[in-house]
Amino acid sequence: MTISGNVFLVGPMGVGKTSVGKRLAKLWHYHFYDSDQVIVEQTGVDIPFIFEKEGEAGFRQREASVIEHLSQLKNIVLATGGGAVLQQSNRNYLRQHGQVIYLYCSVNQQFERTRNDQNRPLLQTKNPYQKLQDLMRQRDPLYRVVADYVINTDNLTIKEVIEQISHKLEKL
């Protein structure tokens, strides 16, 4: 199968953007990037530390810079952070430089996948399920507006998600 151009994965935390992205990149012989991982590599500290020292605004500024740079590369698969769509500039870069796939999953699935993960600063709250609901309510419209395609990942394996993405993109 031949895919041309970049593929950008957006969606909430815990949906599998990194896992799916790595497999897609390998399948297509593309380079894979995870915007959060690039930020960690650039700063030498983890995401919770950045949130603690710079707040969410500082993190979002770093994220925007990384997305601007990475989106201009060729033949990549990029897994973005869950909040990357909050900034209009990020949405613009993604739309202009590749195909955007929204990996959707229900809040119940998100909660199951993230409930024991201490590396998610936004979930370090008394009620992480409520936080996931709030984030979905805020971000789902933004994921949908930037997306070329929406894939519902609930109860799908990584292989099944990849097959759906490949099927959508091979029509181009």
Give dist(CA 72, CA 34) in Å, integer. 14
pLDDT at 124: 81
pLDDT at 98: 95
Q: Each residue of 108-162: pLDDT tens digit?
A: 999 988 877 777 777 788 888 999 999 999 999 999 999 999 999 999 999 999 9
pLDDT at 66: 97
The answer to whether the CB of 86 falls within 8 A of the CB of 142 is yes
Give dist(CA 38, CA 42) in Å, integer. 6
pLDDT band at 171 (very low <50, low <70, confident <90, very high): low
The H or E element containing residue 24 is helix 17-28
Give dist(CA 75, CA 117) in Å, integer. 31
pLDDT at 90: 97
pLDDT at 25: 96
Specify the range with the lowest mean pLDDT, choosing from 5-14, 96-105, 113-122, 148-157. Answer: 113-122
Give the start-to-end residue ranges of the domains of the chain: 6-169
pLDDT at 117: 72
Q: Which CATH class is domain 6-169?
A: alpha beta
Give dist(CA 8, CA 148) in Å, integer. 10
Q: Is 31 helix (H, G, I), strand (E, B) or coil?
A: strand
Task: Quote the pTM value.
Answer: 0.93
Task: Using only the alpha carbons of the chain, give its radius of gyration.
Answer: 15
Q: What stretches of the chain show up as alpha helix (H) in DSSP? A: 17-28, 35-43, 47-71, 88-97, 107-114, 128-146, 158-169
pLDDT at 2: 53
Handedness of CA 143, 78, 166, 103 (dihedral sign): negative
Q: Each residue of 18-71: pLDDT tens digit?
A: 999 999 999 999 999 999 999 999 999 999 899 899 998 999 999 999 999 999
- Of 113, 91, 115, 87, which Cα lies nearest the Cα of 102? 91
pLDDT at 116: 75
pLDDT at 9: 98
